[in-house]
Amino acid sequence: MSGWYGLLSPPKAPEVLRGRHEADWTIVGAGFAGLAAARRLSQLVPGDRVVVVDAQRVGWGAAGRNSGFMIDLPHELGGENYGGGPEHDRKRIRMNRAAIEFSAAAVDEYGLQRFFVRAGKFHGAASEHGLGVLRDFENHLTGLGEPFDRLDGPQLKKITGSDFFVGGTFTPGTVMAQPAGFIRGLAEGLSTRVQIFEQSPVTSLRTGKLHTVKTPEGEISTPRLILTVNGHLESLGFFKKRLLHVFTYASMTRPLSKSEQAALGGEPYWGLIPADPMGSTIRRIGDRIVVRNTFTYNPDMSTSDKQIAQIGAAHDRSFRARFPMLGDMAMEFRWGGHLCLSLNSAPAFGEIEERVFVAGCCNGLGTVQGTLYGMLAAALAAGSDEPMVADALSEPAPSRLYPEPLMTIGAPLKLWAMRRRAGREL
């Protein structure tokens, strides 16, 4: 179980899809994309019956497992493969901010402020290599006219309590979410206008004049379908050999005692992204610390307790390197979660069959981009004339993966090489 989910009180009993139903709109997947689509539909077609089905409890999947950085800026800025120009970046920033404001309106309406804090994010470098990446990032921000603050090691220590970092960059536009709390709160808020069935995995889809969605105990006939199942688009028969299934992992400490918090110092709430993408993301949430690192290639879309435990050892090493004053800290929660990536970093978006729409595969940035493409899929499906829909439709589709055995051999090798290069940033 993710720590974010574990910190919430247990949910009420789920409503499982049973028997035959008819709906004007059916959304499969209740993560960021699915719930954004549901909320947008409830605004665009208020009298229609909108049904959402999810295989699990809301917040159990990646939507409630992520690190909660809802980032307004293009994430790749400064990376060595970065290929966007200023016009592309400005458009991306506008779209990301529109998605954040869409979420913020829901936060205000449903009283979710404790799960959604406009705190900004820190980037931390632990090496010369990391500092170089951050300087590149800052140059891009300057070119775009985006504000940032540069921090040296002692300034970062004042925030984090750790003298591990040699420098950093702060950008103000990121929202820090408690992802499971936010996503569950969003589902509860929507439940007066939208019906949400949980623990109801879609086992088959038949498309036609009326589409049929089947789950183990129920069935929905629906003229319009929005698929927001992230990498499981492939399980439903779409985007075959175009989606990369990668897992990443996190551990959350037990609560730190008052004396441990005093020994740590720093501020109680902050989130820090590593300068190198293969480094460790760290969050402090009051009396606990969360560490996330490591990516594994899992084309079968599942991980195991053994893999989570092995990677937990890497989390412990990264934790000790940053917070030696806390000794061998026990982790109360450890978990892994599924990311959907594409080779060209393109999302899966659009109308893939008549009245079948998709929004997914947001390349590990789905808290904002899942929201964005979910709300745009609803707008596209409802025929709403929004300029951002045209922008999203003009983006490329996920490109084909390399043929086997190149993926099975090459993807883990590439991850291994990137991990080595991250060095101290891990």
- Applying CB under 6 A, among 66, 127, 174, 222 the residue interacting with ligand FAD is 66
Residue 405, preceding peptide bond in cis (omega within 30° of 0) = yes
Three-state secondary-structure class, residue 410: helix
What single letter denotes the amino acid at residue 399?
Answer: S
Please give the structure tokens belonging to residue 370.
């899942």
Q: Are 121 and 273 in contact (CB under 8 A)?
A: yes
Where does 140-182 show beta strands of DSSP type E? Answer: 149-152, 167-171, 175-177
Q: Any contact of residue 39 with ligand FAD (CB under 6 A)?
A: no
Candidates 142-150, 356-364, 398-406, 416-424: pick the segment binding ligand FAD (CB under 6 A): 356-364
Candidates 5-13, 30-38, 43-51, 388-396: pick the segment binding ligand FAD (CB under 6 A): 30-38
Pick 140 or 245: Cβ nearer ligand FAD:
245
Candidates 43-51, 98-106, 254-262, 366-374: pick the segment binding ligand FAD (CB under 6 A): 366-374
Pick 68 or 189: Cβ nearer ligand FAD:
68
Q: Any contact of residue 290 with ligand FAD (CB under 6 A)?
A: no
- Neighbouring C-alpha atoms within 13 Å toward the C-beta of 200: 26
**What CA–CA distance (Å, rounded) separates 292 from 285?**
14
- Site residues for ligand FAD, 225-264, by CB under 6 A, read 228-230, 232, 235, 248, 250
Q: Which of 76, 169, 154 is nearest to 123 (CA)?
A: 169
Place of tokens 């992520």: 66
Neighbour-count burial of 355, counting CB atoms closer than 10 A to its CB (0-12 exposed, 13-18 middle, 19+ buried)? middle
358 Cβ neighbours under 8 A, 6+ residues apart: 226, 227, 228, 233, 238, 239, 348, 349, 350, 352, 377
- Applying CB under 6 A, among 3, 38, 61, 272 the residue interacting with ligand FAD is 61
Q: Any contact of residue 277 with ligand FAD (CB under 6 A)?
A: no
- Applying CB under 6 A, among 364, 375, 388, 426 the residue interacting with ligand FAD is 364
Candidates 4-12, 298-306, 324-332, 359-367: pick the segment binding ligand FAD (CB under 6 A): 359-367
Q: Which helix (H) or strand (E) holds 340?
A: strand 331-341
For the chain, first and last CA: distance in Å?
24
Q: Which of 6, 25, 113, 49 is nearest to 374 (CA)?
A: 25
- Applying CB under 6 A, among 17, 27, 28, 50 the residue interacting with ligand FAD is 28
Pick 30 or 194: Cβ nearer ligand FAD:
30
Candidates 63-71, 97-105, 114-122, 132-140: pick the segment binding ligand FAD (CB under 6 A): 63-71
| Region for residue 241 given its phi and psi (left: phi exceeds 0; alpha: psi -120 to 50; beta: otherwise) | left
Q: What are phi and psi of 277, to 5 degrees?
A: -60, -20
Pick 142 or 235: Cβ nearer ligand FAD:
235
Cβ at position 154, least distance to ligand FAD in Å: 27
Q: Any contact of residue 350 with ligand FAD (CB under 6 A)?
A: no
Q: Any contact of residue 337 with ligand FAD (CB under 6 A)?
A: yes
Candidates 55-63, 86-94, 186-194, 301-309: pick the segment binding ligand FAD (CB under 6 A): 55-63
Interface with ligand FAD (CB under 6 A): 28-34, 53-56, 61-63, 65-69, 201-202, 228-230, 232, 235, 248, 250, 292, 337, 339, 360, 362, 364-368, 370
